[in-house]
Amino acid sequence: NKASHIGLYVKRKTSSIGHPKVSEALIVASYRHKSVKRMRREKQKPKPSYLRTSNVTVSEKENQTDYLQNPANLDHDHKLHMVDEDGVSYTKVISEDGSLQTPRRDAVLKACVVTSGIFAVFGLTIRQVSHITSEGGLTFPDCTKTMPYDFEWSQAEMIVALVVLISACRQMLLIFWPEFAKSSEVANRQVLGSLDIWDYAVVSFLPGICEELLFRGALLPLIGLDWKAVMIVGITFGALHLGGGRKSAFALWASFVGIIYGFSAVFSSSLIVPMAAHSLNNLIGGLLWRYFDPKENRNVVDS
């Protein structure tokens, strides 16, 4: 008697049915039915595509990229799941024609305005409540008096010094700290990749002013104008810069500059100094990335 192997099981062509051809037909039909059901289940499952950039040659990487950029090979969300050389996964959105894209201009500007608006509302609310409470006779720090909007032209020198110091430190870290360079590149692509040159002023000054309004204009005077409060607020500021592809290196850098902005606010007794320094540093960093980084390292899309 001949045997037919299907999977791990052995089934003979003869059975109680009697006729070997009939038995064989039933076995084949059952096998095909199971295969069709299995194929349907596989089609219903999302099929994420991964591109690992380490331990592959240039040609292999190009072949993988060509395959993954084909929309037919992507998952149902049209997302390409990437894995960088450190083994950290992240996701890039794929357009309908299969090209890699950064967030669109309108989405970036909307997110910037909404986030900055939230910071501004919290900052202004804390400052106003502290002022009303203090005027009511309670022993509560008045943030509007301890950290006013006063500005003197002599403080312009401090602003220039802060901009030069922070910009120089950032450029040095981009050269000598690879993890920080990667985090900065991811952040710049997400925020700046699709923007026009005039949009840089919006995404530089709006967050710079609103973030300082909350952290150095409200939280810092509320906790106290000493080095401990400066450290606490600065570290909190840095921790909020985690996520979205930005790693711990970027958060450490944000904590460092947050501490510097805190000391500048305390020494100058003016909220304008950290606001101006923060905004100008944002603008300079964005312009340096736009005009001095290789264009092939960016995914710029039309708005």
DSSP string of 29-89, one letter each residue? HHHHHHHHHHHHHHHHS----EEE-SS--HHHHHHHHHHHTSGGGS-TT-EEEEE-TTS-E
Indicate yes or no: pTM above 0.85: no
Q: What are phi and psi of 10, to 5 degrees?
A: -115, 120
Quickly count: other Cβ atoms within 10 Å of residue 295's Cβ.
Answer: 8
Taking alpha carbons only, the member of 32, 206, 49 closest to residue 117 is 206
Distance between CA atoms of 197 and 40, rounded to whole angstroms? 49
Which parts of the chain are beta strand (E)?
Answer: 3-6, 9-12, 50-52, 79-83, 89-94, 100-101
Cross-strand pairs, 11: 4
Quickly count: other Cβ atoms within 10 Å of residue 201's Cβ.
Answer: 13
Q: Are 170 and 236 in contact (CB under 8 A)?
A: no
Owner of token pair 């299995």: 38
Amino acid at 302: D
Q: Which residues, at least 6 apart from 65, have a Cβ–Cβ distance to it below 8 Å?
A: 51
Taking alpha carbons only, the member of 223, 205, 210 closest to residue 271 is 210
> Mean pLDDT, consecutive 10-residue segments, the chain of 303 residues?
45 49 52 60 52 50 54 46 45 43 83 96 96 87 94 94 97 94 88 90 96 97 95 96 82 96 97 98 94 57 35
Enter the tokens of residue 61: 């990487």
